[in-house]
Structure 1
Amino acid sequence: MSVFEVNDETFAAEIRPQGTTLVEFGAVWCPPCKALLPILHELSAEQGDGVRVLKVDCDESPATASRFGVMSMPTVIVFHNGEPVEKLVGLRPKRAYENVLAKYTVTA
C-alpha cells in the first residue's frame, strides 16, 4: 500500500464508501507534516488493504481543507464508511493513529 495524494477534484472519489480512509491534511513547507509522512507510510504498509491513506496539500486544495475545518497542520481525519469520525490535530505519536484506526478496522 501507499500514501495517495489527492486534491479538491479527486478527494471525494478516493474516500472509501465502505471501510476506513485516513486523510492527512498538510503542506510541503510544514515541518511536522514532513515528520508525519514516514509514519503514514508505515501505517499504510502495516494496515494493507484495511485502510486507505490519503494526503491533501492544503495550499493546493483549500476547498477540501476548509470543508473539513482544517485550521492547523497536520490534521488527520479518519473516515469510516465515507463519513468523518475522528480528527487528530497536530503531530501525534504513531500509536495515537494506530489506536484510532483500531476502532474502525477489522483484523483478521
Structure 2
Amino acid sequence: MSDAKEVTDSSFEADVLNASKPVMVDFWAEWCGPCRKLSPILDDIASEHADKIDVVKLNVDDNPATAAKYGITSIPAVYVFQDGEVAATSIGAKPKQVLEQEFAQFL
C-alpha cells in the first residue's frame, strides 16, 4: 500500500522517539478510506523531503498501545515527532499542499 516504513508498538520508541531527525507518523487502519487516499500523498512528501524528515506508518488496529498513548481517536492522524515529543499534528485526509503548509517548518 505504501513505501513508508511500518512501525509498531515495540519499535515506536527506537524508530520515532529516538530518531535523529523529525519523524512524520501516519496513524491509519486498513479499513479507513481517507487513510488510503492520504497514503500516496505522504509517500510523495517522504521522497521529496527524505533529507529532512522520515515518514512512517502505524496501523492503529495492530498497535493499540501507541495509538492510545497519543489519544488517537480519529484517523488518518498525522503527527510529527521531534526530539521525542509531538511537535505538530494534522487530523483527516488533506491535499498535499495543505499538509506541506501545516508541516512547513519540518520540510
Give the structure-2-normalised TM-score.
0.89
Q: Which runs of 5+ in 1 are unaligned?
A: none
Q: Which runs of 5+ in 2 are unaligned?
A: none
Give the drift of 1:82: 2.1
CA RMSD of superposed structures (Å) = 1.3
Contact 2:22–2:82 (CA<8 Å) still a contact in 1?
yes
Identity %: 37
Size of the alignment, in residue pairs?
A: 104
1:25-71 deviations in Å (ceiling 9; x for gaps): 01011000000110011001100221100100000000000111100
Distance (Å, rounded) in 1 between the aligned partners of 2:102 and 2:22: 11
Distance (Å, rounded) in 1 between the aligned partners of 2:84 and 2:51: 16
Which residue pairs with 1:11 in the alignment? Answer: 12
Distance (Å, rounded) in 2 between the aligned partners of 1:93 and 1:6: 24
Work out which of the residue numbers 85, 88, 91 in structure 2 matches 1:86. Answer: 88
Structure 1 residue runs of 4 or more that deviate by more than 4 Å after TM superposition? none
Work out which of the residue numbers 41, 48, 66 in structure 1 matches 2:68. Answer: 66
One-letter code of the match for 1:8?
D
Give the structure-1-normalised TM-score.
0.89
In the TM superposition, 1:90-105 aligns within 5 A as 90-105=92-107
